[in-house]
Structure 1
Amino acid sequence: MRARSTDEKGVAFSSSATYRADGSGEIDLDRDPSLRGSYVGVEPMGLLWSLKADSLHKYFYKTKSLNPHVVKFSVHEEEGEEGRMLAEATNERVLIGEGVSRRRVKEGNFQGVLFTPPGEGPFPAVLDLCTFMSEKRACLLANKGFVVLAVAVYIDKPDNDKEMYLDHFEEAVDFLRRQPKVGSEGVGVISLSKTADLALSIASYLPDVGATVWINGCCGNTALPLYYKKRQILSPLLFDSSKVIPTESGASNIKYGMYNPLAEENRGSLVPIEQAKGRFLFVASEDDLNWDSKGYMEEMVERLKRHGKKNYESVSYPGAGHYLEPPYGPYCPSSFHGVVGRPVLWGGEPRSHAAAEVHMWKKIQEFFRTHLSCDAPQTKAKL
């Protein structure tokens, strides 16, 4: 069996697996193991998460919600390029659910895309922070009964930004709270990578944040100084390019490239999470090669404990890499880093990473439903 897909930038991805059919010529992916190919063992969604780019260091770009993720599946008589095709089918993985509305928003100092579920509500509200604009996660959360506003941290090239303003994200939170179908008292925030330290600041300085999901981020404010109400509140934790480790693949290992946020000269970058009123869910991949996410998570847990706080839960995933996203997208071992400006290794092992994404996706939904109080009856999370 083979799968083929092309992302929004025209990059081709493919995967394959060899199965032994039963006496009637059938294969059940829930029961039958792949014997060899892109993965082995019983993996019903393996052909999707093992999709691999035909060229090195490529991330699968699927950022637009209105276009489905199209995958061509085919069955061949035998392995290799010569194997005669027996059947082919095209599968469209639709991102935006039936009845979910999508609206571009540009108000004041922020812009984004708002997704609203069908029905009267009230629904919990979530601010989805993206490093660069992507509608995928926000749209999929809206399918599950959340009003979600996706906002990018970098609108332009990162080099063009000299500072960041918390006030702009406060405007986004206020906008979300004013939406007619929103019923939660507090807003949720979900984040990954650079946006995770920004999410910590939003939770720590703004009063209307009820629940924050931090995924593979830092405990300090990174890259740019953060301003709020016309004054700098956090200094930037910077990157030490001398600590970049090149590899034969052409992608660099940058895991220990950030300066130590606990060093005396860098403590001005540490986000004062102990003053946050809402709940935290910390999610860390143990094999993250972008930076030491698990170490940063442990530091934040210790910080909250020292302040007598119990408003957090944490989970870490062995064998998972940096890019933890909604499940069943192609695993990305390396790609161009938009902020560092070179290809980097993201870490992880494909099968473990895929399993972590499945577990995390359910946990995020249950976390938000538990801590963003809403009058409407909520259903238990399903993928």
Structure 2
Amino acid sequence: MSSQVRLRLLPSARCLYDKPIQVKVSHLKSRQVVRIKASSTDERGVLFSSSATYRADENGEIDLVRDASLSGSYVGVEPMGLLTTLKPNIVNKLFVKDKALEPHMVKFSVHDEEEQDRMLAEATNERFLMADGVSRVSVEEGNFHGALFTPPGKGPFPAVLDLSTVMSEKRAALLADKGFVVLTVPVINEESVNVKMLHLDPFEEAITFLLQQPKVGSKRIGIISRSKSADVALSLAAFVPGVEAVVWISGCSANTVLPLFYKKKQILPALMIDMEKLIPAESGIFIAKYAMHDPLKEENRATLIPIEQANTHFLFVASEDDLNWDSNIYMMEMMERLKRHGKKNFESVCYPRAGHLLEPPYGPFCHSSFHIFLKTAILWGGVPRAHVAAEVHLWKKIQEFLRSHVTCEE
């Protein structure tokens, strides 16, 4: 390894997961061509990797904020491209980074294109989910379990319930750094493979628990949700007191897959999936966009969630290239319904060329992975560059929305 070439990660090799870094290489030969590689192993032991070829300037320097990749995992100027284009060495794998206490470790290295891929320099980026001072406590109360994240300081802070379809701490941990007390709770227990129904009562318990936390100053909570958990969030807003704001990402306007119960009574039947409408795509992968039954057909209208009865602010977020289902159509249906009821308690954003899996920014873009309900691999949709840009924009919008609607009492 050459001691001359320098690979720097700025402003620091240690940063929060949702912060960009600047990758710079110096002390190369003038106009030297090198390949920069990145690799990371997720929590399930799957290796993800990316690479891009760059030509140094006349001073022997490369700056990923300024310079364009000539070939590799992406082409053009993509400052965070080595992170967002990390791909698995096993097909149809989602990058799993759900445990807040463990950083996302990414190894970067610079290799000489002309000398049999000889390594010239290397550095490791530690991307933390928990900022300094944020606390994490595992929670098992009554009929729910999850993890509670609390910002440093006395507070008071607004409260947010993070509903994830299966347990994930990433979004909650990062939001706590932004000044929210966040409780993350899964909608589905991955161990419970034969779930036949869902109950709202445990989530109501979670809301009560969250509002009782000593640093919480808001009287009502915000909810952030995506996909299946988004229809649970809508149902909580419609049927359970205490919900001030809901962020609905890539969801449905109806109660999907599992019948929904509250106080021992079924309140919504399930909108089901027609497996025969899965569209075969690449080898062993399907497009599920048109497989869900139409909630507006007369026989399915009972599955629609009555959000018009909610005293809640909504942020609806959809993607035009969502291949899991048509979240944009569902979003438009809900907005039209609210307008018909004289409601103005919503705002919306639709991202062109983005896919279903909108996450906090700078994680690896997922092309396809296993669908927990369909029991097969599906395409999620999205063009990587546009999807990444959507995640950066949305992450700021979510924080602004929650701050403006979930406020602490004076």
Specify the SS of the correspondent of 1:299: helix
User: Do the aligned residues in 1 keep the contact of 2:37 with 2:109 (CA within 8 Å)?
Assistant: yes
Matched, 1:358 2:397: no
1:51-104: CA deviations, max 9, x gaps? 11112111001110111101000011117x932110011111111111111001
TM-superposed deviation, 1:204 = 1.0
Supply the AA of the counterpart residue of 1:20.
R
5 Å-filtered alignment, 1:1-383, equals 1-78=36-113, 82-157=116-191, 159-374=193-408
CA distance, structure 2, for counterparts of residue 213 and residue 155 of structure 1: 22
- The structure with the largest strand share of the pair is 2
- How many Å apart are 1:265 and its aligned residue? 0.8
- Corresponding position of 1:379: none
Shift of 1:211: 0.7
CA contact (8 A) 1:158 1:339 kept: no
Length-normalised TM-score, structure 2 = 0.90
3-state SS of paired residue (1:213): strand
Q: What is the Cα deviation at residue 158 of structure 1?
A: 5.6
In 2: Cα distance, 1:59 partner to 1:147 partner:
27
- Identity between Structure 1 and Structure 2 (%): 66
Note if contact 1:13-1:51 (Cα within 8 Å) is conserved in structure 2: yes
Q: 1:167, CA displacement in angstroms?
A: 1.1
Cα deviation, residue 214, structure 1: 0.3
Structure 2 counterpart SS, 1:308: coil
Give the deviation of 1:168 after TM superposition. 0.9
Where do 5+ consecutive residues of structure 1 fail to align?
Answer: 377-383
- Contact 2:255 2:268 (C-alpha < 8 Å) held by counterparts: yes
**Shift of residue 207, structure 1, vs aligned partner:** 1.9
Cα deviation, residue 375, structure 1: 5.5
Runs of 4+ in 1 over 2 A off after TM superposition: 156-159
3-state SS in 2 of match to 1:303: helix
Q: Write out per-residue CA displacement over residues 134-193 of structure 1, whole angstroms, 9 at most, x where no aligned residue.
A: 111110111111100000011144642111111111000010000010112220000010
Q: Is the 8 A contact 2:94 2:368 kept in 1?
A: yes
Q: CA deviation at 1:248?
A: 3.0
CA offsets, 1:319-354, max 9 Å, x none? Answer: 111110000000001001111100111011111110
State the alpha-carbon separation in 1 of the partners of residues 64 and 193 from structure 2. Answer: 46
Alpha-carbon distance in structure 2 between the residues aligned to 1:82 and 1:282: 51
3-state SS of 2:62 partner: coil
- What is the alpha-carbon root mean square deviation over aligned residues? 1.3
Gaps of 5+ in 2: 1-35
Contact 1:5 1:13 (C-alpha < 8 Å) held by counterparts = yes
> Secondary structure at the residue paired with 1:232?
strand
SS in 2 for 1:181: coil
For 2:77 and 2:287, the matched residues in 1 are separated by 32
TM-score by length of 1: 0.96
2:141 partner letter: E
Whether the 8 Å contact between 2:231 and 2:253 is mirrored in structure 1 is: yes
Distance 1:160 1:117 in 2: 36
Q: Which amino acid aligns with 1:74?
A: S
How far apart in 2 are the matches of 1:308 and 1:127? 28
Contact 2:219 2:409 survives alignment (8 Å): no
* 1:351-383 per-position Cα deviation (integer Å, ceiling 9, x unaligned): 11100000000000000000011268xxxxxxx
Q: Is the 8 A contact 1:158 1:338 kept in 2?
A: no
The CA distance in 1 between the partners of 2:342 and 2:282, in whole Å, is 47
Aligned amino acid, residue 135 of structure 1: E
User: Paired residue for 2:11?
Assistant: none
